[in-house]
Every structure is written in structure tokens, then in C-alpha cells.
Chains A and B, each alone.
Chain A
């Protein structure tokens, strides 16, 4: 059996690589929406699909991106990486989402203590980002 005809040329791999990014976006969008839905109404998502399965799909997708990238020799140089600008709107949206999820998970406790813990969590997140991503 001649398998050579099934071999992907680099142009096909590039398409797959790009599609995998789209799929990653869709999976992360679903994951984010599932987190919010589950926070508002516990069990609404996990009754049908567990978070572990979604995480597994995301990880599998990331690995596929990594290996496809290797195959077509796509590299992100450290120089390029540093230049990558952080999308401020997206960051602000993610920070707000993170804060709301923490606030929601602590709904049962006193509101002031809740707000205090949300601020502490955001501060911890900021310091971690500083520690790991800044020179």
C-alpha cells in the first residue's frame, strides 16, 4: 500500500496549523463560557461533560500545535516573543472575568470579606505575572 499519497505537503500542514489555532480559540471560548455557566448554576455543564475532558482537549490541541509547528519548522524566537505586545483589552477582560469568578465562588461569605479576597487574588495574580514574565 502506497502511503506516500497521504503525506501532507508543507502547505497542508500550514493550513492544519492555522486551523488548530482556530480550534484552540473555540475550545478556550467554550472552556471560559463553561466556567461562567458552572459558576452561575453548578452542575449545568458538568452534568454533561466534565472539565477534565475539556482540559484534556485543550492540552491535546496545544500538543498538536507544538508538533505541527515543529514539523513545519515554525519557531518563535525569544526576540519576537519579547516584542509581542499584550492585547490590553483582552487582558482587562480576562482580569475582570477572573475577579468575577473568584467573587462568585465566595458568594456565601460576607461581601466585604469576599471583595477583600478578590483584591488579594488579583494582587497575587499580578505579582505572579510580574515574577514570571518581566525581566
Chain B
């Protein structure tokens, strides 16, 4: 090796020999360290834990050990027969996850138990709520009977004349089956040709309004309107119509679950709030489509309250629409529940963009392992689950659950995701890395409307 950074220092022959040997050792160690570092990069390990013994150490931890009601396990205590859960969200394809449980010495009756794991989107694992019907303002018809959904109820127009006098266009009504109409309660028949039912939509000049509580609510923009309704649903009116109804103070924004872009940020709309997405990796891994991002201006953004950052651990907010691939079932996220949308027509009345694709099986597919003692001294029990079996399921959220066989007290729960050293995994890591670089430099086309 020719490189010598201290040429001026001449050593005697014996020391020079010694120096060469030591330097060879140093460079060899550096090469080995570089190989190990490359191994860590290409075959990453993700570790999360939660310590009940030292709760102060858990700041920023994501494992969230909780009981059936979703409350944090009180000092790690689990009653016999009760279920408990913990979870983690990881990006990347892993081969296995090791689950470790440190049991307190106070748990005299401890029996090793089964751990079950499933993987999906966090909000897709919410309990299923009641089916939801068409959204307010939807115009539907069935066998020449015309309806508007007003205050959640199915209100039939008394006659076609009545509908025409009010200014609704029969062509804007979507033909639906009688079965689809069952999910909205029956409301009053519309006989009055002078007054509009709630949820009637108007276009006055270039602005769009929806009647709510007999007040006109203006949409912030045409873009916002088109995320919720079709252009032909709006009844054209002139300015004098504004004198007929009181104007509401609040503006109507984008449909729940819409993705909006302002400056460098992309936000998810949920009711009156928006969630800024932390990075493109989260965007892609949470199932969103770049083609669904709508560019907005400052006025459109200003009507929303900015919530905390949306990252890989955050559940999809209210208003998100899921489409289960295997059975083509649609769901909408509402108040911590996953409500079924019984048909595509109903789903499309809620959301005009692409739904989040998800595997229906992911909800019910569990992998299991039984805990066994890890060593002789400490009361640590562990087991491994092959998570590569979940690789075809969308989502990065892993939920672990178990049922205590006796009253137990846990000191610590940890999960460690690992990727096996295989050529296939190396190829997958390199592919992931190239994708990340392309996303980082914007070479993967991001089309924003």
C-alpha cells in the first residue's frame, strides 16, 4: 500500500513491519465494518419495545400495548381470559418478526400463550359498522321513480313535472336498483314545486351551492365541488336566487379522503381538517395514487384546520374509502368504524377518486406462534412469526394479539422485524432503494391536476 499520511516519520525496520501489520489489520477491520454496515442497510432490522417497568423510556414508541377497549395496559396487568393487543407499522419487506415478552416475577401462574398477528391498513382493521346509503345530494332513479337524498333520507319527487319545475334534469339521476335504495330511510315525498329540499345543489354564476338547513352553503371552488358531486347535478340559477335563501357562513370543501397539494405539501382532507403527509414513502405505502392529488390555492387550503403529521403509524382518517380486491366490497372510515358501502353506486356518491385498494383476506388472515422461554435466568418468552406470508397484503400495519391464560403482569413487550440474508431479499432491497431514489429526485412521474 503506497498511501502514507506521515511520510516524514521514519520508523526502524522492525517497527515499520509492525506498523504495516497493524495498518493491514486496521484496513481489514474497516472493510469488515463496511460490509457489516452494508448488511444493516440491505437487510435492516426494525426494533420496537414498550417497557411497563420504565414508562418514561417509551417516549415516541409505537408499539401501543392495549386492552380490548383500546386503553393502555395498566402497569402491564392483564386479567385471565382477557385479550390484549400491541402493534407496529414498518416500511419494507421483512422475513420474520420476533415477539418477546418479559413477564414479571409476580406472575406466578404464567403459562406461555399464543400470539396472533395480522397485517393490513390500520383503519381497515376497525370493527365493521352499519351499512351506509347514498350521500346527501345524490340524485337517483329506479323504474321512473326519481329521488333525492336529503338529510340522509330517500325523498321521492311526486312527479316528473314536479322535478322539471324545480329545475332538476332527469338525465342527472343515476339509475340504481331497488336493493341499493334500502340503505337510506324513506323521507317525505317532494310535492312542493316552489321550495327546494335540503341537499339541492345550485350553480349561480360560476359558484356552486348546496342547500343545508334551508341555508345556502357555498363550495370553496369548482374543484372542491367536483370531488363530491357531478357537474350535471347542479341546477343553474341567476343571482336573484341568492336573495331567496340565507347564505351560510361556512364554506364547503373537498370530499373526505381527498388529497390536496399546496406548495410542497400534500394533505389528506377529513371533514374540516387536513393531515399533512410526512413524505412520499408514506404516501405510496398508505395506498394513495399520485393521480388523485388536486393542486389547490391558499384560499382553498385556508378553510381547513391543520392536524398532526400523517405518517406510517397514523390510521387513514374519516372519509377514506377502501375497496377490497377479492370481493369488491367498499368501505368508508367513520368515527373509528369501517362502514360498508353496499354498492359501487353508493360508494361513488361518497368519493369520485380512486379508493385505497386492500386485500379483504388481510382482515381475517392470522399467523400464530407460541411463546417459549428464551433463557434460563430472565423471565423472557419469545416466538417468531414468518411475516413474509403477509407480503401480498397491502398496508404496513402489523397487529399482534393474545389472550392471557391467567392473571399476568408484563414488564416489557418488544417486536423485532428481520430480513433473511437471501439473494431475493438483496434484490428486493436494491429495487426498493432505486425506487426511493427515483421518488426522491422526482423521476417517478407525479401528475398533479
**Does A associate with B in a complex?**
yes
Interface residues of A (CB under 8 A from B): 11-12, 14-15, 17-19, 21-26, 30, 40-42, 44, 47-48, 74, 107-108
Q: Which residue of B lies closest to A21 (CB)?
A: B5
Is there contact, CB below 8 Å, between A19 and B5?
A: no
Is there contact, CB below 8 Å, between B9 and A18?
A: yes
Considering residues A19, A22, A26, A44, which has the most beta carbons from chain B within 10 angstroms of its beta carbon? A22
Pick the contact of A47: B30, B34, B44, B441 (CB < 8 A): B44
- Complex Cα gap A70–B19 (Å): 20
Pick the contact of A14: B4, B11, B433 (CB < 8 A): B11
A11-B12, A48-B41, A108-B264 known; A22-B23 Cβ under 8 A:
yes
Smallest CB–CB gap between A52 and chain B, Å?
Answer: 17
**What chain A residues lie within 8 Å of B26 (beta carbons)?**
19, 22-23, 26
Cβ proximity bits B252-287 to A, threshold 8 Å, 1 near / 0 not: 000000000000100000000000000000000000
Is there contact, CB below 8 Å, between A17 and B9?
A: yes
Smallest CB–CB gap between A25 and chain B, Å?
Answer: 6
Q: Which residue of A lies closest to B18 (CB)?
A: A15
- Complex Cα gap A109–B9 (Å): 49
Is there contact, CB below 8 Å, between A22 and B27?
A: yes
Pick the contact of A19: B22, B437, B440, B441 (CB < 8 A): B22
- Complex Cα gap A108–B439 (Å): 12
Is there contact, CB below 8 Å, between A40 and B15?
A: no
Is there contact, CB below 8 Å, between B437 and A17?
A: no
Chain A to chain B contacts (Cβ below 8 Å), 19 pairs: A11-B11, A11-B15, A15-B18, A17-B6, A18-B5, A18-B19, A19-B22, A19-B23, A21-B6, A22-B5, A22-B27, A24-B5, A26-B26, A30-B34, A41-B433, A41-B437, A42-B440, A44-B433, A108-B264
- Complex Cα gap A74–B40 (Å): 40
**What chain A residues lie within 8 Å of B440 (beta carbons)?**
40-42
Cβ proximity bits B79-113 to A, threshold 8 Å, 1 near / 0 not: 00000000000000000000000000000000000
Pick the contact of B9: A14, A40, A44, A47 (CB < 8 A): A14
- Complex Cα gap A92–B436 (Å): 30
Is there contact, CB below 8 Å, between A15 and B15?
A: yes
A48-B40, A48-B41 known; A15-B264 Cβ under 8 A:
no
Smallest CB–CB gap between B265 and chain A, Å?
Answer: 12
**What chain A residues lie within 8 Å of B6 (beta carbons)?**
17-18, 21
B37 on interface, CB distance cutoff 8 Å: yes
Smallest CB–CB gap between B264 and chain A, Å?
Answer: 7
Is there contact, CB below 8 Å, between A14 and B27?
A: no
Q: Kindly identify, within residues 15 to 52 of chain B, every residue whose CB is under 8 Å from any CB belonging to chain A.
A: 15, 18-19, 22-23, 26-27, 30, 34, 37, 40-41, 44
- Complex Cα gap A23–B3 (Å): 13
Is there contact, CB below 8 Å, between A107 and B441?
A: yes
Smallest CB–CB gap between A135 and chain B, Å?
Answer: 24
- Complex Cα gap A100–B315 (Å): 38
Smallest CB–CB gap between B38 and chain A, Å?
Answer: 11
Is there contact, CB below 8 Å, between B441 and A25?
A: no
Pick the contact of A40: B3, B41, B437 (CB < 8 A): B437
Pick the contact of A25: B5, B34, B37, B264 (CB < 8 A): B5
